[in-house]
Amino acid sequence: MKKNKFLVVIPARKNSKRLKNKNILKINGKSLIQNTIDFALKLKNVEHILISTDIRNIKKHISIKNRVLIPWIRPKELSDDNSSTKDVLSHAVNWYNNNFKRVNGIILLQTTSPIRSIKMANKVINNYIKFKKTSLTVKEIKSKIKLGVKYIKKKDKFYYPNGFIYVFPQNQIFKKEIYNHNSTIVIDKNYYRNIDIDYKKDLIKAKKFLK
């Protein structure tokens, strides 16, 4: 059986509207971006980990290890408040395909979800391998009214991504959305894994859990 190979993409933008220098803030002595890299290195079948960032001195904040790529500083037009994750991913994946062999799927890890589970990540990845469509972790919400987030509906229940992990085929980044109602979901009921660091209070909660 052909071995599945993945590219992990970690977006890490310098500026943040709510929490200054968010991606290089530290928990237990590790920056959020380093925390994410270390987790990615634990995943199976990963060919490379690509950091898409506009932080020019990024190498001062992380430890460069085998399989970690920082091939360029992200272009300015992909680094402002209106830049979409899809455009950032397209830029990263197109560069990768021009320089390496094409992989079977893309894993998106966001630095703002620092509390992670290898077991749950492997479940999401295995779902992707089995069904060959976007697989992600979600949390249940009581109503589809959730500002700024596209919800997923399954059997009259509503969910939205908790940001922990997304796995999807390369061609998905050229479609309207990375995920949709047909995506395969893994429901995460853990309160702390559902923390998405946007504000200082979120960072304090994560630090409290991980100390």
pLDDT tens-place string over residues 101-144? 999 999 999 999 999 999 999 999 999 999 999 999 999 988 76
Instruction: Return the pLDDT at 1.
Output: 42
Instruction: Give the model's confidence band at 8: pLDDT under 50 very low, under 70 low, under 90 confident, else very high.
Output: very high
d(Cα 27, Cα 201) in Å, to the nearest integer?
13
Instruction: Return the pLDDT at 117.
Output: 95
Q: Across the chain, where does the E strand assignment appear?
A: 6-12, 26-27, 30-31, 46-53, 68-69, 105-108, 135-141, 152-154, 157-168, 184-187
Instruction: Return the pLDDT at 163.
Output: 92
Q: Are 153 and 185 in contact (CB under 8 A)?
A: no
State yes or no: pLDDT of 5 exceeds 50: yes
pLDDT tens-digit series, residues 142-200: 876 654 458 898 988 999 999 999 999 999 998 989 999 999 999 999 998 999 998 99
Instruction: Give the model's confidence band at 6: pLDDT under 50 very low, under 70 low, under 90 confident, else very high.
Output: very high
d(Cα 170, Cα 96) in Å, to the nearest integer?
11
Instruction: Count the helix, strand and coil residues of the chain and give each as a percent rounded to the nearest 5.
Output: 30, 25, 45
Q: How many angstroms separate the first and last alpha carbons of the chain?
A: 42
Instruction: Return the pLDDT at 2.
Output: 61
State yes or no: pLDDT of 4 exceeds 70: yes
Does the CA dihedral 116-118-121-123 come out positive or negative?
negative
Instruction: Return the pLDDT at 81.
Output: 78
d(Cα 51, Cα 70) in Å, to the nearest integer?
5
pLDDT tens-digit series, residues 61-100: 898 887 899 999 999 999 887 788 999 999 999 999 999 9
Instruction: Return the pLDDT at 15.
Output: 75
State yes or no: pLDDT of 19 exceeds 90: no
d(Cα 104, Cα 7) in Å, to the nearest integer?
8
pLDDT tens-digit series, residues 27-58: 989 999 999 999 999 999 999 999 999 999 99
Instruction: Return the pLDDT at 51.
Output: 97
Output the pTM of the full model: 0.93
Strand 152-154 versus strand 157-168 pairing type: antiparallel
Instruction: Return the pLDDT at 147.
Output: 44
Residue 206's nearest CA partner among 158, 164, 148 is 164
Residue 194's nearest CA partner among 211, 209, 184 is 209
